[in-house]
Amino acid sequence: MQVGMVGLGRMGANMAVRLIRGGHEIVGYAADPAGVKAIAREGATGTTTLDDFIRALRPPRVAWVMVPAGAATEQVVTDLAKRMAPDDTIVDGGNSFYKDDVRRMKVLRDKRIHYVDVGTSGGVWGLERGYCLMIGGERDVVERLEPIFKTLAPGKGSIPRTPGRETTGGTAEQGYLYCGPSGAGHFVKMIHNGIEYGLMQAYAEGLDILKNANAKDLEADLRYELDIPDITEVWRRGSVVSSWLLDLTAQALVENPTLSNYTGVVADSGEGRWTVMAAVEEGVPADVLSASLYTRFRSRQSHTFAEKVLSAMRQKFGGHVEPPAGG
């Protein structure tokens, strides 16, 4: 299929390259000329204005937006809508708030432009591993775009089939899922990221306890000098707490056992806050997810080893660079 990619940063460029490798025709647009040149070298058609971008796409057009959530996405969707025609489709693959999706869908529906929201997980590793996709929108439009999702997703790979799913069918085993109408994809991704906060916090706190097992306040015969990199490594092998996040943590610790290259400033990109807000609206207790969010707030004032572990994991799985303290 022909796909237009707006935003050629860390995620957008990698997704465009994966689609090219999968046989799709890519038209790329970014405000940064360097990003446009880079994707053109991969075989895409590079454009430097939205007018040229739209002209390069054949109707019915598909424009996949990969820019930061919030004002940037709002502006791009608005600018695209002014240039697009009935039956064209805008796909928001970023981390937009699901209520914004519903609002945008209603505005675009009046113009007969389709809107699809795709929660995208995979970070900087997605180019090779594939992306887990959580999709919302009109079912028939989503089905029309399925070749795109199938290429971006990781496929079954080597993961064993869940017992009992032999006759279930569907696309979940392939790594992409139609979740429901507009907003459903980003809602599921929002909760995914809230859970991610909790998982990361649990690892970080546990490792901090291990690191401080030699505290002077402990009785002498109850102090332990523990090798944290080795512990994370052994946990990777047969342990019930093994995971990709643990793999990345072990990698960061073997590179620098003290994590002295991290300050412990841990950002939050919005989804954790929205998850807690959704829990309040639904009346659902979310103790762990709430606490992990508040810990990130605290990390911007004081920094523990746990926060350095969190920061290390974010850098490893998503290439996230620490913001300056107080920023």
Tokens coding 218: 């402990």
Q: Which residues pair with 25 in a beta bridge?
A: 2
- 143 an active-site residue? no
* C-alpha to C-alpha distance for 317 and 132, rounded to whole angstroms: 14
Residue 26: CB partners within 8 Å, gap ≥ 6?
A: 2, 3, 4, 5, 16, 19, 20, 39, 42, 43, 44, 45
d(CA 293, CA 96): 18
- For residue 316, the number of C-alpha atoms closer than 13 Å in the C-beta half-sphere is 23
Bridge partner list, 132: 121
What would the two tokens of residue 118 be? 């795709």
Rounded Cα gap, residues 237 and 230, in angstroms: 11
Structure tokens at 53: 């971008």
CA 226 vs. chain centroid, Å, equals 33
Angle at 42 between CA 37 and CA 44, to 5 degrees: 75
Catalytic residue among 25, 196, 205, 216: 196
Beta carbons of 198 and 152 less than 8 angstroms apart: no
CA distance readout (Å), 1 to 83, 84, 189: 21, 18, 25
225 catalytic, yes or no? no
C-beta of residue 191 within 8 angstroms of C-beta of residue 146: no
Q: Which of 189, 211, 308, 316 is catalytic?
A: 189
Catalytic residues: 189, 196
